[in-house]
Structure 1
Amino acid sequence: MPKTMMNYRTQILNPRILHHICAKTTNLSPHFPTNPNPKLQKTTLFTTHNAVNQQQKAVSTISVNETEISNIDVINVKLKTLGGCKLGISRYPDFEYDAQGGSGTGKATVPVSNNSNDRLSGEVFVDFDVNTLYIPAVSTATTKFLRLPLPPFLNIHIVPEILSGKINTESGQVDLRLKAKFYFSVGSIYRAAPLVVDTVLTSEEAAGEIRGGRGARLNEQGLCALVGVARVDPIGDFFMDSFLSLPSECLACLQATISFVKINSS
């Protein structure tokens, strides 16, 4: 190709020359007026640009959400309560409590990236189904006070309402929120309104104003000790409020095992 022709094409492709030619062509055309309303045109272009940005953001958000959902595994989690537990309220000495036989199941979620080779690592978020949770009642069969069994007619029935939280499978730290109602009764002659207990059962240290304790982290066998301190408010029952010196604090020390079973992966 001749050098003259090449130089000519190079000059035509120069952006400044192209802009100059396009501007002249637009000015000469009677059918395409040059920017009759600059403000209106600028606003329209800006609005279109914003609309495109919004669509891009929407697509990006959907992609992130779909990725997050696809990177979640669902895990079965099982809890079993053991003997050697303690319960305490107000300034009374602790009750020796045998929670052997208690159990519950639930679901846990964990990122797939933290669950390689079917081995959990990192934090697992757990939520127990309260319909499956059973915690043995405080009774003469399960509880001793000052080394003596409780009288046969005394009974405290425990009804869990919430048990959920997180477990770090690497460090073994456990933090589970427990909300439960404790129903105190004396045979069939007296039944008090429930005591509401809302606390965090932790493998770390739990401390209140008059009560406290330290748990033990989850080990390789799934054993742990969970401790929680909660404030107990008056229930409007003169006998119970006076007998327990409400408002006061209660303490729960629970020995348990926690195990996981993988049921689904993405």
Structure 2
Amino acid sequence: MGCQTFHINPNSFYKRIYAPNTTRFSPQPNFKLLKTTSLTSNRLNEPASTAIINQTQNPTPNVNFKTLGACKLGISRYPDFDYNAAGGAGSGTATKLSNGQVSVEFDVKKLYIPPLSTATTTFLGFPLPPLLKIDILPLAFRGEINLESGKVDLKFIAQFCFSVGSLYKARSLLVETVLTSDESKGKMREGRGERMDEDGRCRLVGVATVEPINDLFMDTFLSLPTECLADLNAVISFSTTQ
């Protein structure tokens, strides 16, 4: 899938991301709406989304993240797992930078990504065996988003914990990558994402190197060290709180 660049109309972005309950939105910024919600900007030509982040009452901008279905995860030379990540969610704070850039940091204590299990994952068309489970424990999730171009770059660090019921639990695999809406390419694996559209939908991909974990079975089974690929279908949205 080719990389797509979305030119986001600021007013449309405001409607979709910052004011989801607004049913109509005029082509020009609605300053009456801004007044009723205590949002002010001294620069009449400033986009509505920028005015929200720059309002004089100094609110805390929030960012929300949701994972959807139609995702993929791959490791080593094995075929990709088809992964339904619907239900994953997290939130964090955003800081406006310049030129449409926003720095975001998610609270990993509240970030949930569904495990790979028989309920969420298939391999070669078959569900994973009932006892097999891979939990994903985020350690860091932060980076930058460009509200004008839709480009997303988020550093993601997580532990992948492989277990077979109570019979076997391997040492965790440490995965560190940048989930990007553009292209991520390693020596073995590669993926191409999709930039964020006006509804906040995007596809994020990231290639990471996985080092050996001194577990004979896992090191041999996965041919560690090797590469893994994460391909996540997601929605990113913004809001503000006083």
Q: TM-score range by the shorter chain?
A: 0.7 to 0.9
Name the SS of the counterpart of 1:241 in structure 2: helix
Match of 1:106 in 2: 92
Match of 1:244 in 2: 222
Deviation at 1:72, TM superposition (A): 7.2
Match of 1:170 in 2: 148
Q: Which amino acid aligns with 2:94?
A: A
1:85 aligns with 2:71: yes
**Rg larger in 1 or in 2?**
1
- Candidates 115, 119, 126, aligned match of 1:148: 126
Which sections of structure 2, spanning at least 5 residues, go unmatched?
A: 1-55
Q: Higher helix fraction: Structure 1 or Structure 2?
A: 1
Question: What is the number of equivalent residue pairs in this alignment?
Answer: 188
- Candidates 182, 191, 215, aligned match of 1:213: 191
Residue deviations 1:198-219 (CA, integer Å, cap 9, x gap)? 0000000000000001000000
Name the SS of the counterpart of 2:133 in structure 1: strand
Which sections of structure 1, spanning at least 5 residues, go unmatched?
A: 1-69, 115-120
Correspondence 1:44-123 to 2 at 5 A: 74-111=60-97, 122-123=100-101
Say which structure, 1 or 2, has more relative contact order (CA 8 Å, 6+ apart). 2
2: distance between equivalents of 1:226 and 1:72?
Answer: 31
1:234 aligns with 2:212: yes
Q: Which amino acid aligns with 1:107?
A: T
Name the SS of the counterpart of 1:239 in structure 2: helix
Calculate percent identity across the aligned residue pairs.
59
Deviation at 1:71, TM superposition (A): 11
Deviation at 1:149, TM superposition (A): 0.3
Residue deviations 1:53-107 (CA, integer Å, cap 9, x gap)? xxxxxxxxxxxxxxxxx99763110000000000000000000000000000000
2: distance between equivalents of 1:178 and 1:95?
Answer: 19
Match of 1:258 in 2: 236
1: distance between equivalents of 2:182 and 2:226?
Answer: 22
2: distance between equivalents of 1:76 and 1:162?
Answer: 17
1: distance between equivalents of 2:58 and 2:224?
Answer: 44
Residue deviations 1:169-192 (CA, integer Å, cap 9, x gap)? 000000000000000001101000
